[in-house]
Structure 1
Amino acid sequence: MTGQTIGLTSYATALPRLRIGADAYRGAWGQCAARGLRRKAFCAYDEDAVTLAVAAARHALARIGTTPSFDALFLGATSLPYEEKPSAATVLTALTPRRDIRTVEISGSPQAGLQALVAAWEFCAANPGRHALAIAADAPSAPADAPYEHGLGAGAAAFLVGPDATVARFGATASVARETFGARHRRRGEATLADLELRTDDVAPVLADLTAGAPDLIGHDRLALGCDAGAARKAMRAFAAAEGTTCLPWPEIGDAGAALAPLALAGALDDAKAGETVLAVAIGAGASALRLATGDGLARLAGTAPTLAELSDGGEEVDYIAYLRHRRMLSSRFGGTA
């Protein structure tokens, strides 16, 4: 798929204010099961994927400097508060008084955020002259005594997509799907993730399929990865990433689910210069990849919003008990779930 004139006119990120370090898990459990994690961002008791989505979108729209208009909103997330009641409509209500806007929610895997961005591209390609807002937001949760809970973080990224692609042009996209038996999942009606922890190497075969089917994706200046440190090493080899060109927010943010790859893309754009190519990859139940070419509009956005690195370095670090309180894991009312 190609789109020579469609791309990004603005983007922004949002992270919760609160942080917990890997040392807090070591103190509470004797170890941090998320190897390579330094600390992570997590939602306070009054935050969720919707509040993060609104914050990221407001920042992205504010960076334009005028009153931007968009005709569709694509929201990618796995942890929205309702199974039936469109959270995308809630986000839209917080952003604009317009109601004649198409809203779409995409979920089901960590690819959902990047898939929302690709869907926004496809909408604009099918509707010349129109703009779309793509938002990825997530705050996955798990039982407090589950080892895979240690790595779960939160965050959001928003992208304004349209024909005036001054920030970056879309170049190519590819995806593969794979059944991942034993990996984390969440059944309908359940509030937290489950994981059978029956491990096979799903990452290497997925990356092999992705690169074999779209070999032109291998050439890039910057690589933005939505995965953990272990998967990142395999992805860097698969995409022949040069030293120092990879944006991997997982060690400082944690596993932000569907938002992780879009956050990585935003972080790569923060550091990129005009004329570079950026490849974003989301891994989970398969993989999705999106390549962009940056434009002169990046310089115009410089300094108009905090970078992902600045947001990652900030925040308020709390102890493990405070973390449990905010995540409602000590609450009998919420059944000990977030």
Structure 2
Amino acid sequence: MSTMTSTGSTGSSSSHSVRTEAGRGRGLRLTGMTWLVWRQHRAAYWTLLVAAAITVAVIVYQRQQMITYLDGYGYPHLKSGWEDKFDGSPLSLAGRLLGFLPVLIGVFLGAPLLAGDLESGTAKLVNAQSASRVRWLTTKLGVTALVVVVCTTAVSVAFTWWWSPVKSSLSAIDWAGPDGFDNSGPVPVALTLLTIVGGVAIGMLLRRTLLSMVVTLGFAVIVQLVWSHFRMSLGNIVTLTSEKGVGDGTFPSVPSGAYVADQSYLTASGDLIGTGSCTEATAKATTACLDKAHVVGWAIKYIPISQMSSMQWLGAAILLALTAGIAAFVILWGRKRLV
């Protein structure tokens, strides 16, 4: 009797232990809809994660090479002459390559995210299950956005760290251009999310993977073009004037690293005229033209580099607001018309 009782007790204890261990194992894994979405797109997610890790590793190596050079000129307090032999080509190349990432990720991950399920019929299978369409859509968008944010944030932080010691110098890359502005701070995260979610919406509407990828490519290019035109309007223009004439040595000195938006002639009455208005065949004729217009100096409009961070956050907020609007459209449309 006692033996049987002991055995039963031991069996119960072992069974409880097995259930506990199994419960612990399940607790460490994705479950439900999150697991389904991850498993379905794990190849794309892991590709992004591995690519981001490799990119960060390359950036860390390149920065170490740059710092080794700058140490010879007293970094962080750089002495004059460091720009003479500085090789900014790795930074420039990295900036150009990273600029393609929002487009590529939007085309190869965003566009097929829903279009593939709609084209293959997987969406109908999911719709037949107990999980709602809204839950499926939000999980798809949420998991994908999380992976994209992690990857783009890591790359952006690494690139910003690499570029920061020489950011104010044009010997590296221009902060106002796409290579610098669009690959540092919050901008690459926001641009990539907008392209991704836009691709998801396009795929949901077109329901064909290849067609959706082509249209998303066009959408991503348009986003880049509009953004490049809009980018510098985020800053506050500062106007610097001088009244020392327009001869040699009279051009006003703008702060280091400033983006010059425009330069004009300043007249005695305070009006501004374009520098092309007195481009004559001879120097004497040009001088006569300037005297006739009563030109007394220069007017320079510029944006200091100190505004870069605030411009990036303002631009990122606008891009994220657009992304949220498109995501809301995807969920509201998909709730009733997805299948």
Q: TM-score, normalised by structure 1?
A: 0.21
Report which of the two has the higher share of helix: 2
> Which protein has greater RCO, CA pairs closer than 8 Å, 6+ apart?
1
Report which of the two has the higher share of strand: 1
Q: TM-score, normalised by structure 2?
A: 0.20
